[in-house]
Structure 1
Amino acid sequence: MILLKNNPLPLYRQLQDTLEELIRSGALAPDGLLPSERELCRRYGVSHMTVRLALAELERRQLVVRVPGKGTFAAGRRTMPDDQSPRQRQTLALIMEYTSASEFSMRLVAGLKEALQPREADLLLFSAKEERYFELARAGGLAGAIIADPHFHDLRLRQLKKLALPLVVLGQPNQRNIASVDSDNVEVGAALARHLYERGFRRIGFFGYGRDFTVTRDRLAGYKGVLHAAGLPCPRNRILFGEYSEHSGRTGARQLLAAGADAVVCGDDFLAVCVTDQLLRDRVEAGRDFGICGCNNSQMARLHRPSITSMELQPEELGRQLIANLFRQISGNNETENTVVPCHLAVRHSTRRQPAGDNDPDETALCCAVKQYQAEMSFQ
Structure 2
Amino acid sequence: MVATIRDVAELSGTSRSTVSRVMNGKLRVNPEVREHVLAAVKELGYRPNKVARSLRTQASRVLALVVSDISNPFFGSVIRGVEDVAGSADYLVVLFNSDEDVERERRYLSIIVAERMAGVIISPTSERKTDLSLLVDNGIPIVTVDRLAKTSGTDTVRSDNVEGARLATAHLLDQGYRRIGYVGGPAAATTSRERLVGYKAALRQARVRFERRLLSAGDFKEESGHVVMTKLLEAQPDAVLVANHTMAIGALRSLREAGLRYPDDLGFVSFDDPPWASLTHPSLTVIAQRDLEIGRQAAHLLKQRILEPDRPAVRAILQPELRVRESSLRPVP
**TM-score, structure 1 normalization:** 0.69
Say which of 75, 87, 92 aligns to 1:122. Answer: 92
- Three-state SS of the structure 2 residue aligned to 1:311 is strand
How far apart are residue 272 of structure 1 and its match?
Answer: 2.0
1:15 is matched by which residue type in structure 2? V
Distance 1:125 1:13, change over 3 A: farther
Q: Relative to structure 2, which stretch is displaced further, 171-180 or 204-213?
A: 171-180
Q: Is the 8 A contact 2:222 2:248 kept in 1?
A: no
How far apart are residue 4 of structure 1 and its match?
Answer: 7.6
Alignment of 1:192 with 2:168, yes or no, is yes
Number of aligned pairs?
289
2:8 aligns with none
How far apart are residue 209 of structure 1 and its match?
Answer: 1.9
Q: What residue ranges of structure 1 are gaps of 5+ in the alignment?
A: 19-52, 58-87, 358-380
Say which of 204, 208, 231 aligns to 2:184. Answer: 208
**1:253-288 CA-partner distances (Å, limit 9, x unpaired):** 221210121111111112223222322332222013
Aligned-partner Cα distance in 1 for 2:162–2:48: 43
Q: Is the 8 A contact 1:104 1:296 kept in 2?
A: yes
Aligned-partner Cα distance in 1 for 2:308–2:227: 49
Alignment of 1:153 with 2:128, yes or no, is yes
- Three-state SS of the structure 1 residue aligned to 2:166 is helix
1:336 is matched by which residue type in structure 2? A
How far apart are residue 152 of structure 1 and its match?
Answer: 2.9
1:279 aligns with 255
1:342 aligns with 319
- Three-state SS of the structure 2 residue aligned to 1:116 is helix
1:50 aligns with none
Aligned-partner Cα distance in 2 for 1:292–1:116: 37
1:310 aligns with 286
What are the equivalent positions in structure 2 for 1:136-147 lying under 5 Å apart?
136-139=111-114, 141-147=116-122
Aligned-partner Cα distance in 2 for 1:300–1:133: 33
2:268 is matched by which residue type in structure 1? I
Alignment of 1:135 with 2:106, yes or no, is no
What are the equivalent positions in structure 2 for 1:1-380 lying under 5 Å apart?
5-6=4-5, 8=20, 14-15=50-51, 57=58, 89-99=60-70, 101-128=71-98, 129-139=104-114, 141-170=116-145, 171-173=147-149, 175-333=151-309, 334-355=311-332, 357=333
Distance 1:175 1:135, change over 3 A: closer
Q: Is the 8 A contact 2:271 2:287 kept in 1?
A: yes
Q: Is the 8 A contact 1:291 1:352 kept in 2?
A: yes
**1:10-50 CA-partner distances (Å, limit 9, x unpaired):** 999822777xxxxxxxxxxxxxxxxxxxxxxxxxxxxxxxx
Aligned-partner Cα distance in 2 for 1:270–1:243: 10
Aligned-partner Cα distance in 1 for 2:306–2:285: 39
Q: Is the 8 A contact 1:150 1:172 kept in 2?
A: no
- Three-state SS of the structure 1 residue aligned to 2:135 is helix
Distance 1:97 1:13, change over 3 A: farther
2:51 is matched by which residue type in structure 1? L
Q: Is the 8 A contact 1:200 1:353 kept in 2?
A: yes
Q: What residue ranges of structure 2 are gaps of 5+ in the alignment?
A: 6-18, 25-46, 99-103
1:335 is matched by which residue type in structure 2? P
